[in-house]
Amino acid sequence: MKKFVDIAVIGGGPAGLAAALEAWRAQPELNILIIERDHEPGGILQQCIHNGFGLHFFGEELTGPEYAGRFIAEVKKTSIEIMTDTMVLELNNERKILAVSAENGLIEIEAKAVVLAMGCRERTRGALNIPGSRPAGVYTAGCAQRLVNMEGYMPGKKVVILGSGDIGLIMARRMTWEGAKVEVVAELMPFSSGLNRNIVQCLVDNNIPLKFNHTVVRVDGRERVEAVTIAEVDPATKRPIPGTEETYECDTLLLSVGLIPENELTNGAGVEMDRITSGAVVDETRQTSIPGVFACGNVLHVHDLVDNVSNEAKLAGLSAAQYVAGGEKKVEKYHSVNATNGVRYAVPQRISADASGKLDVYFRVGNAYRPAKLVVRCGEEVLATRRKAIMTPGEMEKITLDADKITGDITLEMEA
Amino acid sequence: MSATNYDVAVIGAGVVGCAIARQLSRYQLKLALIDAAEDVAMGASRANSAIVHAGYDCPPGSVEARLNVKGNAMYDAWCADLDVPIQRIGSLVIGFDEQDEKVLEELYDRGIKNGVPGMELISGDRAREIEPSLSGEVTKALYAATGAISCPYQMTIACAENAKENGCEWLLGHPVTEMKVVDGVVEITMGEEKITAKHVVNAAGVFADEVSAMLGDSSFTVSPRKGEYMLLDRTATSVKTVIFQTPSKLGKGVLVAPTVDGNMFAGPTAVNQTDKLDTSVSQEGIDQLSALSRKSVPTINLRSVITSFAGVRAQPSTGDFIIQISEVCPQLIQAAGICSPGLTSAPAIAEEVDSLLRKAGAELVEKEDYNPIRKAIPEFRHLSNEERTQLIEKDSRYGRIICRCETITEGEIVEAIRRGARSLDGVKRRTRAGMGRCQGGFCGPRVMEILSRELGIPMTELTKFGGNSRLLTGVLKED
Amino acid sequence: MEVKEMTCIRCPMGCRLTVTKDGDNYTVTGNTCKRGEEYGIQEMSCPMRVVTTSVRVIGGVRPVCSCKTADSVPKAAIDDVLKALAQLRPVAPITIGQVLAEDIAGTGVSLVATANNRAAN
């Protein structure tokens, strides 16, 4: 099967849906296709049945499926086509896509513009190299979340959680509410990457201890997990401190130790990547190093709020529509956006010299700052300053710049 | 209760037992392949170095030296028949100082005595030409052109499938609890079930001493030696050859090698232990592997580790493979104490057992319809687009990707289950679903659904690898 | 007099609040803004939560359907809400927003579906 489309959106999660919708709104005559690997669009939101989504975007608190449902309902009113149960196998640098489905077999798609919206995946036990046996009962939090919320099964009854990322915190409450006992949450860092609200409402509400500067040093159990041992780590080296081991009898270890953008297709196409975000390098329109290929959402950098994903995706979708309508416009010159001195990364990583108007730069700090002061400079000139009572690595921050003032490379840095 | 009567029962469904079963399946025999585990390749054949060794490190004159060199030469034919990958990439043993260089020379001499072809002592610079990622500190190396990589569990599964195709019965999940000789035949009790066999082949790996003792032969013991490994992602800068450090008393030395699947891995450590089933990984092991692999290949990216795991080798008290007719029980043929190079030697061990069986009086008559060919499960990821299209037209399930990291389709998973996979790990070893960078986080629940559907058993009874390795503890709101 | 320590969740600051209840009088310290004071008093007097979970479904493409309390319920009532909804067995199809139970566990709040679940054929 062969298909020619104006815009192909890879991934039908929150980013893909918002990007397609915004592109359609800008140019309703365009032929827009969303390619989704699951049975239905919505992505990971379908299993995130807790609330807290949409406060910024919709001004009300929604659950994941409700948030996705709003976009799906909007998309269904348009001419946007959604191919479900379809997996993209390859993307090349000429925006040709090879996909496959049981229904259609191999599908070759040629697109004038491509929006990458594949989301992210979870870091695993292997990536952490946790010593011990290899029994059943070790799950990433998201995998457990799917089993509980989509399939209706309990992956365990007595649980230790490593990592205090939001999915881990949410699953602590979810498992507790379904009758499991969550013994402890161990966090390697001296702070949580999860939201305060989740720590309070998921852990404190259920009397689940959260131990900072702790990690799992051993898993026991030949067939099924029987015990998990955690220990305190030296905050500087992150190595376990001998003698601080505590063993919890349990049948399950859940891991919530970070998310990694899912960029195998992006890499395959030869898109320039950012080593810190593990996502593509993009400009202020969210265009990657390949003209006509845009990226947004968690495949670009891991977000903590879906509301920000939707906003970023709208921008990418609009840019894709403009690209198709206006044809390829060669960008003459880029100014780079450099993150230094406590700023871990910034997106976009570059801004075209002819950009104008207000533009938002998203960034994360590498440590907790309280109070925090971010300064954006272009050469010696201070373009903007942002002060906050606190900035933490878990919270994505935003600063709005006046693009017209950007005359060269800019630098984001934290100042005392 | 009437017991089923077999001509030959092979106890142990690791690579050695399965290779023997395959070898014997060419004859007009009623043949059983027995294992306590519910799948084949559940012991050392699940986790080892995956190397087809050249044969220079076995002591000259030993059984293992002879079978290693012979087995190596047989590998291409076996792999071709069984559709198992083998890559003759060559191996290097590297030396960093004068003492190492002496060891290399000893190895070379041993290799000559063992009849190893294609060996060469080379300079560090020459070694770096062959393997550019090698440490600049390497002063000398032993190159062996016949060193190769294969896949231990694929070889085991392929042998078992081919044996089954030719009439061998699998009695998996059948732990042998008792054996005795009654009227010249062996009565084998496996829990509730009982069979008889005229001949028993003991290929029970770390448990071979216990199996042997059931028939009164306690002439040897087997002690477990653990080896830990680290598997790196495919994006890691890979090496092109098998790189060993000089061997120690405990083994062939830590190696860094590519896998046939394009990953890179490092291992093994060598830890003597008493527990035959302990395959846990230690922090010390991980640290040791990290340091040693960095010594061989300084640019190795240890941040790309996907997983670490361990296997247990069967270390015989005799210091050599034990392949003989038992002196105590003439119905028992030992294929025991198969430590490294067991994977390499397996085809040669199978032929050895074949001739021992004749010696023991078995009548081995070739079947007319013996089929030595076994085809692997189609691998969607490696097919051309034309082949993919044809496959999907025949069975649309080959168009549904279940494991996104390794691009494994539902068709492959269903076929693996049809061929004998009963657990998540069984599917994983046969298809690679769940072996990629997300380690089954995405496809795990989906593979479970397929297993449940195809096997007709509830999700809550599915296991990771049999026994009590249950994946789920219950149904939501239905306790 | 009753004293409670808590973390304010109204913003990422996460101020450590000390809330003191003396009869009907509440004093909040440790907060840096007005919203922190409100939060502290609410949490001390009657903490409220939205319950988000799932119910088993009969005849749906999925065996469970996610749901939530349409409004927040007293934290103390969560257990009763969970027990009550565990008994529910709505029949597919179910659509987002559908009321699965009115006045769940006597809270005066209804339980609504937060996802669609088509009928299996």
DSSP single-letter state for residue B366: B
Please give the ipTM for the structure prediction: 0.94
In a domain, residue B129? The reply is: yes
pLDDT, residue B437, reads 79
Which chain C residues have a beta carbon less than 8 Å from that of B453? none
pLDDT, mean over chain B: 95
Q: Which of B397, B445, B472 sits opposite A146 (nearest CB)?
A: B445
A298 in Cβ contact with A7 (< 8 Å): no
Judge whether C86 is closer than 8 Å to chain B, CB to CB. yes
Same domain, B142 and B267: yes
Top residue of B464, B477, B478, B479 to mutate, by most chain A CBs within 10 Å, is: B464
Same domain, A317 and A360: no
Which of B271, B305, B339 marks a domain boundary?
B305
A316 in Cβ contact with A21 (< 8 Å): no
Distance (Å) from the alpha carbon of A108 to chain B's nearest alpha carbon? 11
In a domain, residue B384? The reply is: yes
Which chain A residues have a beta carbon less than 8 Å from that of B450? none
Same domain, B144 and B257: yes
Which of A284, A299, A329 marks a domain boundary?
A329
Segment B81-120, tens digit of pLDDT: 999 999 999 999 999 999 999 999 999 999 999 999 999 9
DSSP single-letter state for residue B115: T
A197 in Cβ contact with A291 (< 8 Å): no
pLDDT level of residue B471 (50, 70, 90 thresholds): very high
DSSP letters along C28-72, please? Answer: EES-SSHHHHHHHHHHHH--EE--EEEEE-BSBSSSEEEEEESS-
In a domain, residue B68? The reply is: no
Same domain, A9 and A78: yes
In a domain, residue B450? The reply is: yes
Same domain, A298 and A316: yes
Top residue of A46, A48, A49, A392 to mutate, by most chain C CBs within 10 Å, is: A49
Q: Report the CATH number at residue A412.
A: 2.60.40
Which chain C residues have a beta carbon less than 8 Å from that of A200? 6-7, 9
Q: Map residue B204 onto helix, strand or coil.
A: coil
Segment B405-457, tens digit of pLDDT: 899 999 999 999 999 999 999 999 999 999 887 888 889 999 999 999 999 99
Q: Report the CATH number at residue B142.
A: 3.30.9.10
| Helices A64-76 & A14-26 angle (0-180, nearest 10) | 30
Residue percentage of chain C with pLDDT more than 90? 86
Judge whether C5 is closer than 8 Å to chain A, CB to CB. no
In a domain, residue B165? The reply is: no
Q: Which of A63, A148, A178 sits opposite C52 (nearest CB)?
A: A63
Judge whether C54 is closer than 8 Å to chain B, CB to CB. yes
- Residues of the domain holding A173: 124-257
pLDDT for A329 beyond 90: no
Strands C64-69 and C111-113: antiparallel
Distances (CA, A) of B65 to B104, B345, B346, B351: 17, 9, 13, 15
Same domain, A71 and A81: yes
Which of A227, A257, A287 marks a domain boundary?
A257
Tokens of B346: 């397996």
pLDDT level of residue A383 (50, 70, 90 thresholds): very high
pLDDT, residue B2, reads 56
Q: Do A102 and B474 touch (CB under 8 A)?
A: no
A98 in Cβ contact with A90 (< 8 Å): yes
Q: Do A154 and B473 touch (CB under 8 A)?
A: yes
Same domain, B236 and B141: yes
In a domain, residue B22? The reply is: no
Lowest mean pLDDT among A100-114, B247-261, C106-120: B247-261
Cα distance between residue B164 and residue B374, in whole Å: 10
CB pairs under 8 A between A and B: 145
CB pairs under 8 A between B and C: 8
Same domain, B255 and B122: yes
Q: Taking a contact as any Cβ pair under 8 Å apart, which residues of chain A between 237 and 266 contact chain B?
A: 240, 251-252, 264
* Chains in contact with B via at least 3 Cβ–Cβ pairs below 8 Å: A, C
Model pTM score: 0.94
In a domain, residue B427? The reply is: yes
pLDDT level of residue B26 (50, 70, 90 thresholds): very high
pLDDT, residue A126, reads 67
Which chain C residues have a beta carbon less than 8 Å from that of B477? 55-56, 86
Same domain, A167 and A250: yes
pLDDT level of residue B236 (50, 70, 90 thresholds): low
Q: Do B445 and A148 touch (CB under 8 A)?
A: no
pLDDT, residue A127, reads 62
Which chain A residues have a beta carbon less than 8 Å from that of B384? none
pLDDT, residue B1, reads 45
Which of A329, A360, A385 marks a domain boundary?
A329
Lowest mean pLDDT among B7-11, B298-302, B335-339: B298-302
Cα distance between residue C64 and residue C100, in whole Å: 13
User: Three-state SS across chain A?
Assistant: CEEEEEEEEECCCHHHHHHHHHHHHHCCCCCEEEECCCCCCCHHHHHCCCEEECCCCCCCCEEHHHHHHHHHHHHHCCCCEEECCEEEEEECCCCEEEEEECCCEEEEEEEEEEEECCCEEECCHHHHCCCECCCECEEEHHHHHHHHHHHCEECCCEEEEECCCHHHHHHHHHHHHCCCEEEEEEECCCCCCCCHHHHHHHHHHHCCCEEECEEEEEEECCCECCEEEEEEECCCCCCECCCCCEEEECCEEEECCCEEECCHHHHHHCCCECCCCCCECCCCCCECCCCCEEECHHHCCCCCCHHHHHHHHHHHHHHHHHHHHHCCCCCCCEEEEEECCCEEEEECCEEECCCCCEEEEEEEECCCECCEEEEEEECCEEEEEEEECCECCCCCEEEEEEHHHCCCCEEEEECC
Judge whether C55 is closer than 8 Å to chain B, CB to CB. yes
Same domain, A197 and A240: yes
Segment B307-345, tens digit of pLDDT: 899 999 999 999 999 999 999 999 999 999 999 899 999
Q: Do C9 and A51 touch (CB under 8 A)?
A: no
pLDDT for A393 beyond 80: yes
pLDDT for A358 beyond 50: yes
A64 to chain C: closest CA residue = C114
DSSP single-letter state for residue B68: H
C98 to chain A: closest CA residue = A66
Same domain, A90 and A108: yes
Q: Report the CATH number at residue A282.
A: 3.50.50.60
Segment B200-221, tens digit of pLDDT: 999 999 999 999 999 999 999 9
Same domain, A97 and A5: yes
> Is B53 a residue of the active site?
yes
- Residues of the domain holding B299: 86-148+229-305
Q: List domains and CATH numbers for chain C.
A: 2-45 (no CATH), 52-113 (3.10.530.10)
State the residue for tokens 């890879």: A10
Same domain, B125 and B270: yes
- The active-site residue out of B53, B174, B199, B382 is B53
Q: Do A204 and C6 touch (CB under 8 A)?
A: yes
Judge whether A335 is closer than 8 Å to chain B, CB to CB. no
Segment A129-173, tens digit of pLDDT: 788 988 999 999 999 999 999 999 999 999 999 999 999 999 999
Number of domain units in chain A: 3
Same domain, A239 and A320: no
Same domain, A51 and A115: yes
The H-or-E segment that residue B424 falls in is helix B424-431
B439 to chain A: closest CA residue = A124
Q: What are φ and ψ of residue B301, in 5° steps?
A: -95, 95
Q: Which of A105, A143, A222 sits opposite B393 (nearest CB)?
A: A105
pLDDT for A343 beyond 80: yes
Q: What are φ and ψ of residue B177, in 5° steps?
A: -105, -20
Segment C39-53, tens digit of pLDDT: 999 999 999 999 999
pLDDT, mean over chain A: 95
pLDDT, residue B107, reads 96
Residue percentage of chain B with pLDDT more than 70? 98
Q: Report the CATH number at residue B437.
A: 1.10.10.1100
In a domain, residue B13? The reply is: no
Specify the length of chain A in residues.
416
pLDDT for A205 beyond 60: yes
Same domain, B398 and B299: no
pLDDT for B251 beyond 70: no
The per-residue b/e assignment along B103-139, b for 16 or more CB within 10 angstroms, e otherwise, is bbeebbebbeebebeebebbebeebbebbebbbeebb
Distance (Å) from the alpha carbon of B431 to chain C's nearest alpha carbon? 27
pLDDT, residue A4, reads 98
